[in-house]
Structure 1
């Protein structure tokens, strides 16, 4: 197994490490979803922007029975951004390989969302997210006033990641070991 990069390593180095580690991890979707369910109930969340899992990410789709889940669509023009849509409309495969809503799916305003579940390649203990490099969540989060929850396998929760000024940390982190509020 690859050794953890230093905090001053480049984001591409961190991404390569995270992909290698994640490829060897077991599926932790069930315990992660159970921890998310408890946390979202505790927070009183009803409408939640989730994500359609890529290979190796914890699948959170089981939350759809209790919460109104929304699915993001990555748009590239006129500038990269995410739009939010009803969960059930995610029927086409995106260029990243996850299901997403089609371009004409009804949109849901961000200010009606209670919580955002953030996927990532890794998170650090301060809630900083290592994403895939597209900056989609980095553009969405500054306008969001609800709760942000980083969803990650415990093996990909590290002491410290490189951080750019636009990297807004998650308020909560959820792994197969449970939910922890970021201090």
Structure 2
């Protein structure tokens, strides 16, 4: 097994073992940090993952963004590593799709990557400096080069790692958001939290 696959497996096991109380508290603090981001306040369009199982549960964040009048899009996988940003008006529009992940219907309007202002990404682990370990499908690594949107990675502090292997196709993010704060890629860890 490759170094990345082995690390991914260990990180998913760690994610699944996190106490539910910790996850709920961390998620709430992460959402507050997102809502306080200048990039969020200025965004008209937001592309946000829908948290499943042990992931950060983004449903309440998505509902808040919709209430705030943001145009919210969520991922829909189109096969072969291709993903699109489909606009939703309500979480009720989502149905289990690829790998059981909640997705909008194929008929939902699609935003082009150029139309996005902010992207909120999932991961299984990451470093504070913005190196991301995803689930291995490559969907975001293929999608992100097409957009100039601000990229924020949402992760619980206990899942951070300094040992994320980087490959040429891995796409960096602009900020890593944990319950401890916001770590911008342009800062070194020694400069602290914004």
* TM-score, normalised by the number of residues in structure 1: 0.87
Q: Work out the number of aligned pairs and report it.
A: 173
Name 1:80's counterpart in structure 2.
Answer: 81
Structure 2 residue runs of 5 or longer lacking an equivalent are: 187-194
Residue 177 of structure 1 aligns with which residue?
Answer: 180
What are the ranges of 5 or more consecutive residues in structure 1 without an aligned counterpart?
1-8
For residue 38 of structure 1, what is the aligned residue in structure 2?
36
Normalized per residue, the structure richer in helix is 2
Q: Deviations over 1:101-155 (max 9, x none)?
A: 1222221121111011110100113211111111000110011111000110101
Give the superposed CA RMSD: 1.8
User: Is the deviation greater in 56-65 or in 109-118?
Assistant: 56-65
Secondary structure of 1:30's aligned partner: helix
Work out whether residues 118 and 149 of structure 1, in 8 Å CA contact, stay in contact via their aligned partners in 2.
yes
Residue in 2 aligned with 1:100? 103
SS in 2 for 1:158: coil
Q: Which residues in structure 2 correspond to 1:1-150 (within 5 Å)?
A: 10-25=3-18, 26-27=22-23, 28-40=26-38, 44-63=42-61, 64=65, 65-66=67-68, 67-76=70-79, 79-87=80-88, 88=90, 90-150=93-153
